[in-house]
Amino acid sequence: MRFFMGLGKRIQVEGVTKLEDKELLSILIGDDLVAGELLQMTDHDLQTIGKLSAEGYELVPGLDRSKARLLSAAIELGRRRTAFSRIVKNKISSSRDVYNRYVDRLSDLGHEEFHILLLKRSNQVLAEVRISKGGLTGTVADPKIIFSKALALGAAAMVLIHNHPSGNPNPSSSDKRLTNNLVEAGKFLDLPVLDHIIIAGKSYSSFADSGLI
């Protein structure tokens, strides 16, 4: 109890920004030893902590379900605050516009997801569609499903988006093959694939910017 009273006094005098990561986690969790276990398990990496699900937090010794949910909620509030301050455009004119639209929903995921951003002829956003949700190292992106969704919604063009939980934004050989196949199919259907954005943490890569499309 004395430990938390000390933290409370410091917050009152110095402000919450002066607290270390372990101290902030201790306030949320209610136990400085458990906070230390969480930091040790994640190599003191706040990005890794942010990617954990409530079930993942429960793997930490001493961290019960209610505290895990509280921690998940706090992380989500921080994520939403960041997303609220980010400028998201309804007209896509660059890879950065796509990144800004998706980074807050994909950067902290512990699994891969594949999305398509459907555009009107003016490059205004028409619709956003999640195609698939996979595991840590991959997900299924079926070209038939991708183009059936795009055609059904009357899209004029599309951008492909998926994430790499590994933190490496560079496209894999399978990413390149899939993209090439979709680009060729798009030419045949008069529905161009303008770019493929890979989001990895707070970084990203663009097939269009790299000259791969």
For 118-173, the pLDDT digits (tens) are 999 999 999 999 999 887 666 789 999 999 999 999 999 999 999 999 889 999 99
Domain ranges of the chain: 2-85, 95-206
DSSP reduced 3-state for 61? coil
Amino acid at 108: D
Exposed / middle / buried, residue 52 (Cβ in 10 Å: 0-12, 13-18, 19+): buried
DSSP reduced 3-state for 24? helix
Greater confidence (8 vs 97) lies with 97
Query: The whole model's pTM is what?
Result: 0.68
The CATH architecture of the domain made up of 95-206 is 3-Layer(aba) Sandwich (3.40)
Candidates 3.20.20.210, 1.10.150.20, 1.20.1200.10, 4.10.110.10; CATH matching 2-85: 1.10.150.20
pLDDT at residue 11 is higher than 50: yes
Alpha-carbon distance of 104 to 101, in angstroms, equals 8
Q: What's the mean pLDDT in 58-68? A: 83
Backbone angles phi, psi at 189, to 5 degrees: -90, 0
Comparing 2-85 with 95-206, is the CATH topology the same? Answer: no
